[in-house]
Amino acid sequence: DQQVKQNSPSLSVQEGRISILNCDYTNSMFDYFLWYKKYPAEGPTFLISISSIKDKNEDGRFTVFLNKSAKHLSLHIVPSQPGDSAVYFCAASARETSGSRLTFGEGTQLTVNP
Amino acid sequence: ETGVTQTPRHLVMGMTNKKSLKCEQHLGHNAMYWYKQSAKKPLELMFVYNFKEQTENNSVPSRFSPECPNSSHLFLHLHTLQPEDSALYLCASSQERRFRGGYTFGSGTRLTVV
């Protein structure tokens, strides 16, 4: 049973436009959500997070939106840049019950075309 | 040196070999993890160590044997692996009680079993 799902394996956008990456989860105990970015031959790096008490968190060009009723979160990148091309992983944790244990999605390959 | 360092970066081994993967973190974190990443699959948690004690074994076959001699070092000992064990093995660390940034990952070891 996969508790975190990223249904789009790939996404292609033009430079300067908005990139929207989606993530769905099933475990209602999840209370903290994170996005990681991974370049080839490197480990994932932390990008942005959001607590379940919020519905939006913004950091520069990156904004994460959380819809708890739909168990859905999304990452918006605007404007998109070619250097944003990478695999993006959504992750979730249930800190009350599982501490810092993270559950990851399958990842979405984002390609930003010049 | 800072961050999480994994060695070797690449490893090719036969099914009868014994090898070890090494992970080292210089961040003062007290939790360390092994993850497996196969193509088009979510990152799969293998083992969790908190303060050098193994707190989770996610139904990993016994041909994978972790060792955590201190809170800065983590090993994954491999023996009699199968070709389907070929994957990217990622080590990560975190500070259990200050979790805002999630995990810090190493660059991974790309393992090929022949």
pLDDT tens readout for residues B43-76: 898 998 887 777 777 789 999 999 999 889 999 9
pLDDT score recorded for residue A108: 96
Q: Which residues of B touch A91 (CB under 8 A)?
A: 102
CB-based contacts of A107, cutoff 8 Å, min separation 6:
A6, A9, A38, A87, A88, A89, B42
Share of chain A above pLDDT 90, in %: 83
Q: Is the Cβ pair B40, A9 closer than 8 Å?
A: yes
User: Residue B114: how many CB atoms within 10 A of its CB?
Assistant: 10
What's the CA gap between A86 and A11, in Å, rounded?
10
CA contacts within 13 A on the Cβ side of A35: 28
For A108, name the nearest residue in chain B, comparing CA atoms only: B40
What's the CA gap between A46 and B102, in Å, rounded?
7
Residue whose tokens read 């390609």: A111
What's the CA gap between B55 and B57, in Å, rounded?
7
Reported as a pLDDT band with limits 50, 70 and 90, residue B1 is very low
Q: Is the Cβ pair A105, B42 closer than 8 Å?
A: yes
Among B112, B80, B66, smallest CA distance to B15 is for B80
Which among B2, B47, B99, B111 is the top mutation candidate for probing chain A, defined by the most A β-carbons within 10 Å of its own β-carbon?
Answer: B99
Nearest to B103 among A42, A102, A106 (CB): A102
- For chain A, the first-to-last Cα distance in angstroms comes to 38
- How much is the mean pLDDT over chain A? 93
Asked if the bond preceding B69 is cis, omega within 30° of 0, the reply is: no
What values do phi and psi take at A82, rounded to 5? -55, -35
DSSP string for A25-70: E--TT--EEEEEEE-TTS--EEEEEEETT-SEEEETTEEEEEETTT
- How much is the mean pLDDT over chain B? 88
Reply yes or no on whether the pLDDT at A77 is more than 80. yes
